[in-house]
Amino acid sequence: MIEFFTEPWQHVFMQRAFLVVLMSGVVCGVIGSHVALRGMAFIGDAVAHAVFPGIAIAFVLQTSLVVGGVVAGLITALAIAVVSQNRRLKEDTVIGVFFAAAFGLGIVVMSTAPGYGGSLESFLFGSVLGISDRDVVTVAVAGAALLLISGALHKEFVTVGLDRETARSVGLPIFWLDMALYAMVTIAIVISIQAVGNILVLALLITPAACARLLTDRIGVMMLIAPAIGAVSGLTGLYLSYAFNLAAGGLIVLTATAVFVTCWVFAPRHGLLSHRRVTATEAVPVRP
């Protein structure tokens, strides 16, 4: 039993993978909490697709994938924010148009690169076992910066998330706070793509936060529970991947989903069983 936990750490590539998955889980848990509070899961999906052409262009040009992804994500987010000002179009419609176009552009760009099939597969489904020391440093630096910024803007993000009109009335810069959160979501997604891939990265961003939302009503506690679930899900999925020789990204997401289902059923106040107990209690007539 002990070997199950110690053997993977004997390999350098697994050590790198564990570190990146751990950091990605923590960062996505924190940033994802703000996304979940605002009901912005769809914008997370849009950004996940929007960074793809930037990463593809950076891959073809042999430059920084993080920089390429962040630039593409920010350009798309800004375009969505501007076009959404037209009241004839709902924001989710504009998001749908732009993220589909961005993903299509990414595939076209990737098709021009040598080894197109293998490269595309690694971007779509992740390549956590192929992470380099440079990647580990990049994720660590970017992740630390995101956590610091999230802490500095925590009150503002929460205020906007709970009541945009109140936030606007007290003079908060709503547009720029939205852009800051979009930028943070973009960076969190870019640094996590190698762990779970472009298609599955939304799950790492949203699922741990959704679990935490079921377990607590306090935002501060949610900010602690979500990254813990993200980190544990990542490490567990990676262990299972090593033990059974299965896709790491898929197992990480499935582990997080299993935690979500458990919370949905057994959460003390908001779980399915808790609601049934309350309903059954209310159905019993009160006798004098």
CATH of the domain at 132: 1.10.3470.10
> Checking phi first, is residue 286 left (phi over 0); if not, alpha (psi -120 to 50) or beta?
beta
Total structural domains in the chain?
Answer: 1
User: How confident is the model at residue 288, as a pLDDT?
Assistant: 44
Alpha carbon distance 74, 264 (integer Å) = 34
Sign of the four-CA dihedral 196, 148, 42, 113: negative
130: which DSSP letter? Answer: G
pTM for this model (two decimals): 0.84
Residue 185 amino acid letter: V
Q: pLDDT per residue over 108-131, tens digit each?
A: 887 777 766 555 566 667 778 788
Which residue range forms the structural domain that includes residue 246?
Answer: 2-283
Provide the 3-class DSSP secondary structure of residue 268: coil
What percentage of the chain exceeds 70 in pLDDT?
Answer: 88
10: which DSSP letter? Answer: G
User: How confident is the model at residue 234, as a pLDDT?
Assistant: 93
In this structure, the dihedral spanned by the alpha carbons of residues 191, 158, 173 and 140, taken in order and rounded to 10 degrees, is: -20
258 within some domain: yes
User: How confident is the model at residue 32, as a pLDDT?
Assistant: 93
288 within some domain: no
Q: Which of 187, 194, 250 is nearest to 17 (CA)?
A: 194
Maximal CA-CA distance, the chain:
81
